A and B are shown apart, each in its own frame.
Chain A
Amino acid sequence: MKPPIFEYASPSTVAEAVALLASKDGNAKVISGGQSLMPMLAFRLATPELLVDLKHLKNLDAISIGEDGVRLGAKVRWCDIESDARLAVSHPLLAEAIKHVAHYQIRNRGTVGGSVAHADPSAEMPGIAMTCGARMTIVGSAGARIEAAADFFTGPLQTSLQPDEILTEVHLPPWPAARRWAFLEFARRKGDFAMAGIALHYDLDGAGRIVDAHVGAIGVADRPIRLAAVEAMLNGNRLDDRLIAAASAKARQSVDPPSDIHAPGAYRAALVATLLARGLKKSAV
């Protein structure tokens, strides 16, 4: 359980960090909180030649809330989100989801950027980014680019980040005050990775019909996913028990989760159906 040998650098600007990453031709990794990377190193699942620590980079730890939504700097920690009272109004779905991330000590170190770049399919922050249609700001040798969450997550622990790129910000779209939402996950112990989780939000039109439904799931595929068929079923309809039952059944059909030591695929699919039904009920209250 000892990490492999690597070099370490703690640059003071993003440009320096990018140059360091580029110098290793794909054999360098970014570290910040290290709460996902350090176990990977301990198990030798990652064996980088160089770790580039973001510790001294400035301006990556702000939570900015404005008319264009919520901007989370890559170094924003779970405890920062937890203690920011504005988010209960500005993005209650984010605030609720982040309550489920890991444990106290890890929440003091773990970061938004680290979780999103690590892209664990069961993790909450990638799930919220996917569900809400977040836009990622990415800086590399070629300059800065913006990527939609739907294009960012490409597979298990895989993203579109290039070896010389750093994720600097996650931008969640504006949150209307009247928006309905829910986040539910199931884990055997609090703080564990979810066996399955559901994040959802939607708005209501003047006649009380659902518009712009976003329904996401974690823990049931090789990456966080949106359940487009469920969203289509919800849009344009009023939420009632019949619609909830139909959406729940559709959710079960929409996923094909892998089996692993924690749960068979069919069980995870059943969890998605149950969590979606509960989430929709909760959202209506």
Chain B
Amino acid sequence: MDIKFDLNGQSVSADVEPRTTLADCIRNNFGQTGTHLACEHGVCGACTVLVNGEAVRSCLMLAVQVQGDQVVTVEGLSGDELTPLQAAFRKHHALQCGFCTPGFITTAHALLSHEPGADEERIRDVLSGNLCRCTGYVPIVEAVLEARESYRGSGSK
């Protein structure tokens, strides 16, 4: 099936099988491999992307379902510089192997964009849907808490 959508600000099109997940489409059709696939059944959160500004699991969506939508992956969040959220992750050592990091970054970005006043409890609740096996949860929460400031006032991204 022919699909057309907006990927990280660029209009893109592809011919995909209906069974192709959004995650596979982003990685295989467009070479944007920042979206990581681990469990492929909606448990780990590594493949989180933004669809029309909302965090979703791209392994639990079909590519054909984003026809006409705006999709943003971790690649779409920053230009040449790290975003304040990404910089906070580096500062707080909020990653070790880094596999889960794109999912945490996209999820935290969506949360802070919608709720820049999120408190630690809310941040922990939202991030509970993402797995990190290097056990970096504490520094991840610290990084997100620090990045909140950059989402206040002038807005997101």
Contacts and interface: CB of A to CB of B under 8 A. Distances in A.
Interface of A: 1-8, 10, 31, 34-35, 38-39, 41-43, 51, 53, 55, 79, 102-106, 108-109, 189-191
Interface string B50-62: 0000111101111
Interface in B3-43: 17-19, 21, 24, 39-42
B113 interface: no
Nearest to B66: A55
A191 B130 CA distance: 11
B137 to A, nearest CB: 13
Interface stretch (B73-81, B93-101, B121-129): B121-129
A262 to B, nearest CB: 15
11 contacts: A1-B40, A3-B19, A10-B65, A34-B62, A34-B65, A42-B40, A43-B41, A105-B45, A105-B107, A108-B55, A191-B129
Contacts of B18: 5-8, 51
A35 B19 contact: no
Given A2-B19, A104-B55, 11 more contacts: A4-B19, A8-B62, A10-B65, A38-B60, A103-B128, A104-B110, A104-B129, A105-B45, A108-B55, A190-B128, A191-B129
B62 A106 contact: no
Interface in B62-120: 62, 64-65, 67, 107, 110-111
B41 A42 contact: yes
Contact of B21 (A3, A5, A51, A109): A3
Nearest to B43: A39
Interface of B: 1, 17-19, 21, 24, 39-42, 45, 48, 54-57, 59-62, 64-65, 67, 107, 110-111, 125-126, 128-129
SS class, residues of chain A in contact with chain B: loop
Contacts of B59: 38, 42
A33 B102 CA distance: 22
Contact of A8 (B39, B45, B64): B64
A34 B61 contact: yes
Contacts of B56: 105, 108-109
Given A104-B107, A190-B125, A38 B42 contact: yes
B1 A8 contact: yes
